[in-house]
Amino acid sequence: MNTEIAEKVTGLFPALCEKELLEDISRNGKLMEVSANTVLVEIGSYVKVIPLVIKGTIKVLREDDDGNELFLYFLNPGQGCAMTLNCCMANKPSAIRAIAEDDSELLAIPVDYMDKWMKQYQGWKNFVLQTYSDRFEELLHTIDSIAFMQMDERLVKYLKNKAAATKTRVFKITHQQIAYDLNSSREVISRLLKQLEKLGRIKLGRNHIELISLV
């Protein structure tokens, strides 16, 4: 029994605290460290492990037919990837790409245990359902923001989101990358960022953005 894993899971995933489940997890899960920008799940790939986030931030994004990307959401410690759960159970290729936003630590659970644990452990089942539920809600918000919100609001939301996920107010990022994430164009992002700077809500520099007051 790997106590390191057990401790981390108890701390971050209270839903998974059943004794036998905890033992099962610590026996079969593998801790892995990934550095920033590592691609964890590629679109079209078949996923064989379920990652639970222990430390860091994972960015989940979608891509359209032309290869334009669209940022969906961040995964933080204490969360698992709903898409992965989904794909694993249905044995379908991934519809999303997941990349490490920061240096992160994951607990990888082999998919083979999915079925068994779903039946065997109430806590695991609850965790899976909760994960689905959380993401579903999140996705609805994302849809709202694409369908109904203006770019400026989406940008502010994106910045806030990123700040919350990475727990920092200064990020190293280019306007172009934000444009990719939001499926917009660099000029539009630059102009909107400029406005925010004029309002004193952020501070701009080459390759970095500092958040001042994003209410």
Partner DNA sequence: ACATTAAGTGATT
Partner DNA sequence: AATCACTTAATGT
Phi/psi for 213 (5° steps) reads -145, 85
Rule CB under 7 A: choose which of 34, 41, 107, 192 binds DNA. Answer: 192
Q: How far is the CB of 95 from DNA (least distance, A)?
A: 22
Rule CB under 7 A: choose which of 136, 207, 210, 212 binds DNA. Answer: 207
94: left (phi over 0), alpha (psi -120 to 50) or beta: beta
Q: Among 200, 211, 197, which Cα is nearest to 169's?
A: 211
What residue type is 145 in one-letter code? Answer: S
Distance CA 175, CA 21 (A): 45
198 makes contact with DNA (CB under 7 A): no
Among the candidate windows 38-46, 81-89, 160-168, 191-199, which touches DNA by CB under 7 A?
191-199
174 makes contact with DNA (CB under 7 A): yes
Rule CB under 7 A: choose which of 167, 206, 213, 215 binds DNA. Answer: 206
Look-up of token digits 């898409």: 83
Binding to DNA (CB under 7 A) within 136-165 occurs at 150-152
Crossing angle of helices 82-90 and 122-148, rounded to 10° = 110
Q: How far is the CB of 67 from DNA (least distance, A)?
A: 13
Interface residues with DNA (CB under 7 A) are 150-152, 174-176, 183-188, 190-194, 204, 206-207
